[in-house]
Structure 1
């Protein structure tokens, strides 16, 4: 541990290394070297450690790390009296992706009762949300406070079809077409009937007080209806689209929705990009083509997407010789640009691969890879790829048996992968493994057991 009270205001001409080495940085007086450090933060310090062995020794010294640590505490929002330097260093490694991605701690949470299949589960803003069928609703677990709350709609005379969680709202979609929105801050309910086919699988997206419902058109197999629900005014505007809708981006601040319909049957896939207001008025439309490598035909499977500020990303998979070829479509709203990037590895075939891949930033993903029973972390921004071994907790007996059946019979992997940069959750038939990556967020909450690996 580094003592934050160390005084580094050296008055005498002290040299960091007095071996006469020709490296000017190493041979500088301490006073000049500390002036250089004024322009560096911890991210720069970690980069300097990679220059050479001598630079690593120098920039790993207690003097350098403590100096940089004290200068960056304001940015971190940490108190130097309460937080040790090692935590600040680990935080910067995690924040800037400078070191290997490894969880700082694992925990395991058992399901409250035996289950026959893995329930739908979401993770958003340090909250777990999962379906509880016996109450025809969901339960939300706040990882920060440990508080649990249950949400349903007693007026809904049907089973739950889908649900979606945002910072403030919870949307429950019932098979009859009823949508219930709960304001998690005020516990106020808004409900509305939508004219959709019974049991239709509607995709839900929320930004601020705007809800998007993407539902198949009742009278046309080739059409899709986009319902834009303004929660404040409780008004709905409808946009018609084809079922070739593969990506969309909503900006509630600018009051716009951008949709991308793609015809993958073309040799060079044809894109129709349309910009709408959130009241359903079309602003503009343009056509262009995606560039694929020569000889490549891509026939993607439906998949989910995630929005990170101005960027929205979806990972698409195509089956070729019982293997998946993958690419990411990313729209950058700040510059109005759609880009395509290939994911340069393939994974074995399974019809449920979308549940085993989680986009945690515009460039970083976690993907289940079996064999060899690992989580594959990839960062397309810097090309880094890491395999993290998946160990089972001693209580994951049912999952262990089902995983053997999956490998032997080719059934679906008995797990579900969700999360973000802070927390990755691996849900299975026994419970949920929680992997914490942010050193400043490793909460203790009821029913979470310390992880104990199975021998």
Structure 2
């Protein structure tokens, strides 16, 4: 009996219309039928709508990465997205630190395939390039009392506490050219983030009325901006030199004050007050607290989270600068958190996904902000109770970090990394960091 491929013989225009009724999972399944079908179902007119949706989910289309570069492999991007949504990485690896640490790092970060952490006892920051396996040590011998790190694809920023405790000393390096910058800002409880070449120091709501500061690395200039008493979200558009701030009180969070400021001059450009768009299924806003995590910016969108302190239910705020709109999502996870322990750490892997690590049970809870779905995965599914991170310590004090390619958990013993991009699974040696580090001062 002769086999006739009806699908393969159809005109491309008709195939595109038929495939319009399928989802990405069906597209991937059809790619597995044969080489001929893989070619057909991988052509740009058929898969581009699905890949653009997936790339938007990953944040790739908003971070300056061209969507056209991914139009050849729907399966890889489907696996990437599916793994992120359900905490199913393509690879896991445990790494002990390059040298013994007396305490866990104050900060552990991952950005652009670089792992960054501090060694408090030596007042130095280290960057481990996951792609090349090379390690570099960054030291400013003129400063002491390390406080925080900020990392982007271009800059490493180290915040030091001065001996007088009235200001923070700042050091930044261009990690590509090794160019060094120094400055300082007044000391106050702040959340730190970096957008482009702008480092933002946003005051915590618990600290009273305080200004924000923006360090423009291109000009090596620190600009003081406004006074904020209940800052919940702060968005910086580096291209327009605009800072957008949202304030709402903990006991009256339904009323929001939005202000726009010039980063260059510190001038107030716009101010308005409006009611927060609360979801219909959300309970009455009371006892609203802010997470320690800083705001996270993806292109022209910034996300932040608060929560109902008594119920442990997160409120996710998202600001879209392109359309000047603030939206709110709520996920009722009180049952999961109360049932499995209340001490946890969290990180955004995309603007749609938050990974919450439950330290009491060593589990990872994944929240899809868009759909409200949650996935619970045991951290120790592969290592059992003798996981190296808890083998020699009873103190379950961890750093949780990551981006769309990597999720990690670290303490003073070492770190475990989960890799989600099927095309980025580096062959890291379980024995740890082996390269001779480059020292940058």
- Consecutive unaligned residues of structure 1, counting only runs of 5 or more, are 1-12, 17-27, 51-55, 407-412, 450-455
Contact 1:107–1:448 at 8 Å: present in 2 too? no
Q: Per the alignment, in what secondary structure is the counterpart of residue 64 of structure 1?
A: helix
1:333 is aligned to 321
Of the candidates 69, 86, 95, which is equivalent to residue 42 of structure 2? 69
2:181 is the alignment partner of 1:190: yes
1:102 is aligned to 88
Per-residue CA distance 1:349-379 (angstroms, 9 max, x = gap): 97863xx111112211111246653212222
Per-residue CA distance 1:72-92 (angstroms, 9 max, x = gap): 799674899xxxx8xx62333
Larger Rg: 1
Contact 1:399–1:429 at 8 Å: present in 2 too? no
Contact 1:361–1:421 at 8 Å: present in 2 too? yes
Between the aligned partners of 2:377 and 2:22, the Cα distance in structure 1 is: 26
Q: Per the alignment, in what secondary structure is the counterpart of residue 211 of structure 1?
A: strand
Of the candidates 114, 117, 135, which is equivalent to residue 148 of structure 1? 135
Per-residue CA distance 1:367-413 (angstroms, 9 max, x = gap): 124665321222222344322221264874461464xx57xxxxxx4
Of the candidates 345, 351, 359, which is equivalent to residue 348 of structure 2? 359
Of the candidates 417, 420, 430, which is equivalent to residue 437 of structure 1? 420
2:384 is the alignment partner of 1:399: no
Per-residue CA distance 1:170-206 (angstroms, 9 max, x = gap): 1111111211111112111111133x24xx4443222
Between the aligned partners of 1:258 and 1:43, the Cα distance in structure 2 is: 40
Between the aligned partners of 1:327 and 1:254, the Cα distance in structure 2 is: 28
Q: How does 1:82-121 map to 2 (within 5 A)?
A: 89-95=75-81, 100-119=86-105, 120-121=107-108
Deviation at 1:47, TM superposition (A): 4.1
1:417 is aligned to 400
Deviation at 1:37, TM superposition (A): 3.9
2:212 is aligned to 226
Deviation at 1:415, TM superposition (A): 2.3
Contact 2:25–2:78 at 8 Å: present in 1 too? no
Contact 2:83–2:90 at 8 Å: present in 1 too? no
Deviation at 1:70, TM superposition (A): 5.9
> 1:357 and 1:311, CA in 2 relative to 1: closer, same or farther beyond 3 A?
same
Q: How does 1:163-182 map to 2 (within 5 A)?
A: 163-176=149-162, 177-182=168-173
Q: How does 1:142-291 map to 2 (within 5 A)?
A: 142-156=129-143, 158-176=144-162, 177-194=168-185, 196-197=186-187, 200-214=188-202, 222-266=208-252, 269-279=254-264, 280-291=266-277
> 1:434 and 1:40, CA in 2 relative to 1: closer, same or farther beyond 3 A?
farther
Between the aligned partners of 1:362 and 1:248, the Cα distance in structure 2 is: 15
Between the aligned partners of 1:216 and 1:36, the Cα distance in structure 2 is: 56
Deviation at 1:291, TM superposition (A): 5.0
Scaled by the length of structure 1, the TM-score of the pair is 0.76
2:123 is the alignment partner of 1:136: yes
1:409 is aligned to none
1:9 is aligned to none
Moved more, 106-115 or 207-216: 207-216
Deviation at 1:332, TM superposition (A): 0.9
2:385 is the alignment partner of 1:390: no
Moved more, 431-440 or 341-350: 341-350
Contact 1:69–1:89 at 8 Å: present in 2 too? no
- Consecutive unaligned residues of structure 2, counting only runs of 5 or more, are 49-65, 163-167, 433-441
2:437 is aligned to none
Scaled by the length of structure 2, the TM-score of the pair is 0.79
Between the aligned partners of 1:352 and 1:100, the Cα distance in structure 2 is: 21
Between the aligned partners of 1:126 and 1:29, the Cα distance in structure 2 is: 41
Between the aligned partners of 1:60 and 1:98, the Cα distance in structure 2 is: 22
1:375 is aligned to 364
Q: Report the number of matched residues.
A: 397
Q: Per the alignment, in what secondary structure is the counterpart of residue 377 of structure 1?
A: strand
What is the Cα-based RMSD across aligned positions, in Å?
A: 3.6
> 1:164 and 1:98, CA in 2 relative to 1: closer, same or farther beyond 3 A?
closer
> 1:333 and 1:352, CA in 2 relative to 1: closer, same or farther beyond 3 A?
farther
Contact 2:286–2:308 at 8 Å: present in 1 too? no
Q: Per the alignment, in what secondary structure is the counterpart of residue 331 of structure 2?
A: strand
> 1:49 and 1:233, CA in 2 relative to 1: closer, same or farther beyond 3 A?
closer
Contact 1:257–1:276 at 8 Å: present in 2 too? yes
Between the aligned partners of 1:159 and 1:98, the Cα distance in structure 2 is: 37
> 1:98 and 1:59, CA in 2 relative to 1: closer, same or farther beyond 3 A?
farther
